[in-house]
Chains A and B, each alone.
Chain A
Amino acid sequence: MTYLHQIWTIAAKDLRSEMRTKEALNASMAFSIVILILFSFAFDQAEGLNQILGGLLWLAYSFAGALVLNRSFARELQNDCLDALISSPAPPSALFLGKAFANFALLIAVELLSLGVFAVLYDVRLSGKFGLLFLVMVLATWGMTVIGTTFSALTVNLTMRELMLPVLIYPFLIPVLMSAMILTTDLLAGVPTATNMVWLRVLVAFDIVFTAITVVFIDVVLVS
């Protein structure tokens, strides 16, 4: 099998397994909607709501994302699946990228669905802005996915895995979340993106640098 084929096989396996039970997807979706509703109550009629819209959205995305990312490697613990995957001929980086792509797909799905709920609850018009918004979502979600999948692999054997993962990844994700929040807020408010190019660059740079680092070091985390 070629490298790309290996990545594709693992990603497809993860997505297929997730589609059968839809555990993580449902939990994540539900959590995201609940957060958006709660925020809607909390900030109902608040002035200056426009300035925090981006922040709200990405907070909901990051909390919901942690649920999905946690499951990523944890689902392999039963029946020694993780050992089987690691000892397969596929290199650990292929395993990592396959899972990362699967997580990415799941996260984007949750985000798109939540975006619909968000547009309804907060009375946001998305026409004409959706293209750029989607670009921001893709870039920031890939950053979240790469870091989250790595830490999922790192914490897979720990007893307090569900607790440790959010605690470990949120400080790491601050550059990503900050850039995404600023870009989204300005996009939704109609500010031209030219003023925010620096944040797009931060997102792209973060994605490139951390994809490179994590692919290189995932060997160490998974195998030894």
Chain B
Amino acid sequence: MRQNLHFLLFAIFAGILLWTGNTILSLPVQVQNVGAYKIIYFHVPAAFTAFTGFFIALVASLMYLATRKLKYDAFAAGITEVALAFATANLISGMIWARYAWGIWWTWDARLTSMLVCLLMYYGYVMLRQAITEPTQRARLSAVMSILGCANVAFVYQSIAWYRTQHPSPVLGFREGGGMGPGLETPMYWNWLAMLCLATILASVRMRQGEFATEIDSLRRQAHSH
């Protein structure tokens, strides 16, 4: 059943990618005199996917604390790791574009910095999990850290946004001063959907691995008690 779901999601993911890939290839080479801008079609959806992942991890952590079922903890850990992968992708692709557009690898601008801080926070989450061996304690403490982390994402983002703005000003339609032009924006949202499908598959695989680890743990205790 799970396998079928994975295949279905992967098919959706591949389908969307093929379609948006085709759309993106046929787009003009430069828009508003910004070159290499097509990176945005994967850079921004990766960021969206990462933030969605962090938020879902928050929900899963709250569910764990409410129900104390370890499967929620496994899911929270899984989705956080997947979100970290997408966040890294966003950060590095952002750096590559910055190198092209402004000639520098890094700048302390709002979005890059807040993504880096989120990366550090949630990598701390992963390290915390690795440092605790007892499953219930690990689930409990990492749930609290996930909640604190997600609460801080808003603060980090807003404070750094107020601090510097070298990043291109809002280009998306739903922000004031944004809007990319007809038809230019939609591939980004489709790509986001595709990445969400992929993230779901990966999180589900990771969650199953979490369940394996729990089973190994309990079997080991059983074996050693003989």
Contacts and interface: CB of A to CB of B under 8 A. Distances in A.
A binds B: yes
Contacts of B120: 170-171
Contacts of B136: 224
B132 interface: yes
Contacts, number: 74
Given A171-B117, A205-B155, A217 B131 contact: no
B172 interface: no
Interface residues of B, number: 28
A175 B120 CA distance: 14
B128 A213 contact: no
Interface string A132-168: 0000000000000001001000110111100010011
B131 A175 contact: no
A167 B140 CA distance: 19
Interface of B: 65, 117, 120-121, 124, 127-128, 131-132, 136-137, 140-141, 143-145, 147-149, 151-152, 155-156, 158-160, 162-163
Given A174-B159, A198-B162, A213-B148, 7 more contacts: A170-B120, A171-B117, A178-B160, A202-B159, A202-B162, A214-B148, A220-B140
Interface of A: 147, 150, 154-155, 157-160, 164, 167-168, 170-172, 174-175, 178-179, 182, 198-199, 202, 205-206, 209-210, 213-214, 217, 220-221, 224
Closest 5 CB pairs of A and B: A171-B120, A171-B121, A175-B159, A175-B155, A168-B124
30 contacts: A150-B148, A154-B145, A157-B137, A158-B131, A160-B131, A167-B124, A167-B127, A168-B145, A170-B120, A171-B117, A172-B148, A172-B152, A175-B155, A175-B156, A175-B159, A178-B160, A198-B162, A199-B159, A199-B162, A202-B155, A202-B159, A202-B162, A210-B151, A213-B147, A213-B148, A214-B148, A217-B144, A217-B147, A220-B143, A220-B144
